[in-house]
Amino acid sequence: MPGTSPINREIEIQPTGGLSSARIEALADGLFAIAMTLLIFDLKAPTITDRSPLALAHAVLAIWPQAACFVMSFITTATLWVAHRGQFHYIVRTDRPLLWINIVFLLLVSIIPFVTSLLGKYPQNAFAIMLYGANMVLAVIVLWYHWRYATQQHRLTARHLNDEIVRVQSRRILMGPCIYLFAMAFAPRFPVVSVAMYALVPIAYALPSSVDTHWHRQSHHA
């Protein structure tokens, strides 16, 4: 548009008020991609002196805790991305507070490779287990607040968003922190139980819900 400054051309102002969410989603996609890639860097090929197939097989099996933590964290991080992306199915614009909520959320996502590395090296250590769980609890709570802030009185969502969907989605998000906190209580005496429960969180989120049904109905009507 003639006379429009570079800043105004870069930041799209929505007709309904607020800023475009495109830049948030682009930043989030990039950071998630980096975090998920960094997870594999801690999984290194073992060094052996005996080059026999059996010796290599034993060496590979010896790093199973790191491999298990990689798979668990990769799927968990993917679940956070799916949830964040799903929220922006309803969030049609943004503002400065939501930008900073996203920054805090992405900060916690960026810590996942570190706590995963710690847990992979010390899978029986209660501190490593609880630190992993604490980071996940904080990440999901910030994601819940992200949803609450955006949907409260339809602040940043379309007016036709069903209030029941908002409530159901809020409860569904908080399911994760409840499981993580419960699992953390077992860390001092039963570390394996804690880690096993951590692995169940993304499975619980992957199960179909009424939110998914609502998405399908919208797509059908569209």
pLDDT digits (tens, 9 = 90+) for 63-105: 899 999 999 999 999 999 999 999 998 999 999 999 999 999 9
Range of the domain at 214: 17-221
90 in a domain, yes or no? Answer: yes
- pLDDT at 39 (0 to 100): 96
Say if residue 213 is exposed, middle or buried (CB neighbours under 10 Å; 0-12, 13-18, 19+). Answer: exposed
11 in a domain, yes or no? Answer: no
Give counts: helices (H), strands (E), the chain.
9, 0
9 in a domain, yes or no? Answer: no
- pLDDT at 123 (0 to 100): 93
Q: How many domains does the chain have?
A: 1
- pLDDT at 213 (0 to 100): 62
51 in a domain, yes or no? Answer: yes
183 in a domain, yes or no? Answer: yes
pLDDT bucket at 51, cuts 50 / 70 / 90: confident
6 in a domain, yes or no? Answer: no
Q: Provide the whole-model pTM.
A: 0.84
72 in a domain, yes or no? Answer: yes
Output 217 or 77, whichever has higher pLDDT: 77
CA distances from 79 to 122, 172, 187 (A): 24, 13, 23
User: Hey, which residues does 91 pair with through a beta bridge?
Assistant: 157
158 in a domain, yes or no? Answer: yes
Report, as an integer, the average pLDDT of 204-213: 74
